[in-house]
Amino acid sequence: MEDSKPDGHPLDAYSQIVSGVAERLTPKVASLRVPRGGQGGGPGGGYGRGESLGSGVVFTGDGFLLTNAHVVGKSTGGTAEFSDGTSAPFRVVGADPLSDLAVLRANGPTPEPAELGEADTLKVGQLVVAVGNPLGLAGSVTAGVVSALGRSLPARGRVIEDVIQTDAALNPGNSGGALADADARVVGINTAVAGVGLGMAVPVNATTRKIISALMRDGRVRRAYLGLAMMPGPVPANWRERLGRKTGLLVAQVVTGGPADRAGLRQGDLLLTVAGNPVAVSQDLQRLMFSEAIGRPLAITVMRNGALVDVIAEPSELVNA
């Protein structure tokens, strides 16, 4: 039987998808209340006196929730409130500000978990639905499309790499909520309101699953650090056939005094390979930056002024930066 509007007319296909996602995910998204001293707030979270408010998504059957690291800050716990009126205290298992992800563990019953999807299958223009629980207003739902993929987001004094850009409106307190595909699979965790008609979400993919697993297991994430901000960039046309590729990673910023700076990398360099592995999108480099790269010199090939240049960088270790 088709879903119907109050006047008896069937919902259009778009509305059926959005309402279906909302119905499935709203019970699984909590409103988080996190005690916090100090004043002020960021673009993705609303603040009461001494309290941070955000959203969190139940993603396991034994009470683990995903949210943003900036929602919990340095707090060790708080309260998760669900749309059915139940609540449970939670503790912060681990937070990773570099990816803006945090894992919580509820001490009490939680709804059935949401299904995690795969952001790497997203296409620009694809329908996505943002479900949050902002300021305790259960079931805040907005819909839009994927506007861009692989973006970098300068936020809170650092750069969050490989985020999803969407035009689904994100209200204050939506940080930590779910960005879902048409099948209600969580493909991202909403992280910030970057401007009018502009939202960002941390993708759920192989790289972030590794981060989530490390937080659940150890409460921290160890990774190698180069000190670069990058974006996809084109390989010059006269090199494409010779290299067998069209894109690399363009260095937008080099952190002064960081490993990349010491290795001689410069703004405007186009990264082609790292440790013998081709890099074309931010996630290619992120995969190489976990613990196995710590303390290992990395051979990096870049294109600079139309010529290939090889450098050796020695990444430093970053733990829950």
Complete DSSP assignment for 134-161: GGG-S-EEEEEEEEEEEEEEEETTEEEE
- From the DSSP assignment, how many helices (H) and strands (E) are in the chain? 6, 21
The alpha-helical segments, DSSP class H, found in the chain are 13-25, 69-72, 206-218, 237-243, 259-263, 282-288
Q: What is the DSSP string of 229-248?
A: EEEEEEPPHHHHHHHT-SEE
Query: Of residues 31, 140, 175, 282, which has the active-site annotation?
Result: 175
The yes-or-no answer on residue 100 being catalytic is: yes
**Residue tagged active-site, from 31, 52, 70, 282:** 70
Catalytic member of 52, 55, 100, 282 = 100
Dihedral angle computed from the Cα positions of residues 240, 246, 252 and 257, in that order, rounded to the nearest 10 degrees: -60
Judge contact between 114 and 59, C-beta under 8 A.
Answer: yes
Asked if residues 146 and 128 have their Cβ atoms less than 8 Å apart, the reply is yes
Q: Which residue has the tokens 């960021």?
A: 42
- Residues designated catalytic: 70, 100, 175
